[in-house]
Structure 1
Amino acid sequence: MDEILYKLSIFALPLLFAVTVHEAAHGWMAEKLGDGTARMLGRVTLNPLRHIDPVGTVMVPIAVYLLSGFIFGWAKPVPVNWNNLHNTRRDVALVSLAGPGANFLMALIWALLIYLGLWIYNSLEWVARPLIYMAVAGVLFNAILMALNLLPVPPLDGGRVVYSLLPPKMAQVYSRLEPYGLFIVVLLLATGLLGMILWPLVGLTISILPATDIVTQLIPVILSPARS
């Protein structure tokens, strides 16, 4: 039980910020491009409490970790009124890309924090070790969330980018996939295809970040099943 709680404490902050900052970035970009809906609802903030979904941010991550040893979740989607954007088709793509872009930036910040952990390791090992593990988890979670959201499946961010790039008639036909997007992702997950699609991009993302070797070495450590 102690090891389970230790790992949950390491995973909690990186996952929380991975999903909440992702959503805040959508709202921030939408505001810059003409829609202030997210600002009016208090969603353009780095305060995680404004973005927490009781199911997706709390219950699901804990349940998935206890069942599989991994952790995953989501935050409340930020509402965007697409009709308020200055250039709807272009701006839909920009708002959508803001989320994955924020995940890449956070992965970079977590990677740099690994160096801070190494720097203080000899004098403050009890602080450095969990910091390094937390930073590795932050790199991994943000790389996964970025890759997942770039899938060209509506309503994921990548699907909205594809929608904005297609000719209007084709875009309308493509948008009809949105009600089935979750089922498509679940089907890909159940068949093992989702991992085959995501991991090359996750690996590429990690490979261009600082501290690549350390992240690669420690990912199996932080994902190893916790002993109760």
Structure 2
Amino acid sequence: MTFADTQRSRSEDRRISPVFWVLLATLATAGWAVWSGYGNAGFGVFLFVVAGWMVSLCLHEYAHARTAMHSGDISIGAKGYLTLNPFKYVNTLFSFVLPVIFVILGGIGLPGGAVYIERHRIQGRLKHSLISAAGPLVNVVFAALLLIPVGAGWLDDSTVHAFYEGQELNVSPLAVALGFLGMLQLSAALLNLLPVPGLDGYGIIEPWLSPQARRAVAPFAPYGMLAVFIVLWQSAVNQWFFGLVYDLMGFFGVDGGYAQLGHYLFQFWQN
């Protein structure tokens, strides 16, 4: 292989996938439709949130991959993880299908695991922990980008208002869509930082555990995400958890009611 071929191959490994561009285009188009009042507001919020959620999932996994590459796993590029193409990840079902279903069924932001990292290439426990922490950090940053405009009141002058059970409210449907999507990002960050096998929180502490402890926990890793989702179905846990998420939204000046109204519009098939 010539030097030019090598450079071309590396460029292709990092070229953004058309699939990701389609997701971004859907997000932008749905956002414009919700802001301008074009079409059905509920369906527009649904498209906006689903597209935004999938974009954040791609960025979450990209952060893992990019951090792993800079930590020593030079195989990342050849696997296609840097193209932001969700179909390149290890398990599309756990990485994208189930997280979207969780959002639709319960309004819960719970990302799955996707990228296969060749850990033997990476030296140092701190690097392994940083790789796991990179994904939730993306969710936190994404949440800030979504919630700051709402908390700052940049969307308060909209001429299009949201409706709740037939009553017009003095709030933009785009603001509540951003509030709901921002809430999903915060819930994803919190849940994914839990020290549960299969989630990034466990990945952060795993390098610091003894080999015996890691071997004992390994069989439970495939079921960690589902276990967390089942626990969240319990009303007491659910109320406590979302109360914490709404408190975090308050740091950005956004009331939890924005997320609740956004979730209401998101479920357009029930309204």
Query: What TM-score results when the alignment is normalised by the length of structure 1?
Result: 0.76
Structure 2 distance, partners of 1:33, 1:169, is 25
Amino acid at match of 1:119: W
Structure 1 distance, partners of 2:66, 2:246, is 28
Structure 2 distance, partners of 1:191, 1:120, is 35
Note if 1:111 corresponds to 2:147: yes
Q: 1:59 to 1:179 in 2, by over 3 A?
A: closer
Corresponding residue to 1:137 among 177, 180, 184: 180
8 Å Cα contact 1:29-1:95 kept in structure 2? yes
Aligned to 1:149: 192
Structure 2 distance, partners of 1:161, 1:197, is 24
8 Å Cα contact 1:61-1:71 kept in structure 2? no
Aligned to 2:159: 125
Aligned pairs (5 A) from 1:79-228: 79-87=116-124, 89-114=125-150, 118-119=153-154, 121-122=156-157, 125-126=159-160, 129-192=172-235, 195=238, 198-199=241-242, 201-208=244-251, 210-213=252-255, 216-224=256-264, 225-226=267-268, 227-228=270-271
8 Å Cα contact 1:60-1:72 kept in structure 2? yes
* Partner deviation per Cα, 1:162-189 (whole Å, 9 max, x = no partner): 3223233333323343244245334424
Query: What TM-score results when the alignment is normalised by the length of structure 2?
Result: 0.66
Larger radius of gyration: 2
Note if 1:32 corresponds to 2:70: yes
* Partner deviation per Cα, 1:100-158 (whole Å, 9 max, x = no partner): 11110111111223267x43653x53499343233212311110111111121111111
Aligned to 1:77: 114
Aligned pair count reads 220
Identity of aligned residues (%): 22
Q: 1:64 to 1:93 in 2, by over 3 A?
A: closer
Structure 2 distance, partners of 1:184, 1:69, is 15
Q: CA RMSD in A?
A: 3.5
* Partner deviation per Cα, 1:33-73 (whole Å, 9 max, x = no partner): 111333222222456676694786368736963xx473757
- Displacement of 1:194 in angstroms is 5.3
8 Å Cα contact 2:150-2:254 kept in structure 1? no
Structure 1 distance, partners of 2:128, 2:220, is 17
Note if 1:13 corresponds to 2:56: no
SS of aligned partner of 2:172: helix
8 Å Cα contact 2:155-2:175 kept in structure 1? no
Q: 1:153 to 1:193 in 2, by over 3 A?
A: farther
Structure 2 distance, partners of 1:206, 1:184, is 25
